[in-house]
Amino acid sequence: MKEGMHILLQIRDAGVTDKCQPFVDLKEQISEWVNNGKAWDGTIEFAEYGRYAVISLPKSANVYASLAFKRSRRI
């Protein structure tokens, strides 16, 4: 649970409002992970901010959850 809160705080500290849909989607995914313990790896696009988040929510208690907030490439 603490890891999920830490991830959400990191995104907010990066300037993302907690009202935007990608933040809400991330929060829902973390809540589901906390509630059911199922591992999840994926990305969530924060197009409004020109970034995307690469998230890893592990099943193992020995592995930490992680998030990389990356700048989107323009092609």
75 residues of the chain, pLDDT tens digit each: 788 999 999 999 999 999 999 999 999 999 999 999 899 999 999 999 999 999 999 987 778 899 999 999 764
| Its pTM surpasses 0.85 | yes
Using CA atoms, how far residue 13 sits from 17, 44, 53, 59, 70, in Å, is 9, 17, 14, 26, 14
Q: pLDDT at position 63, please?
A: 84
Q: pLDDT at position 53, please?
A: 95
Q: Which residues pair with 54 in a beta bridge?
A: 43, 68
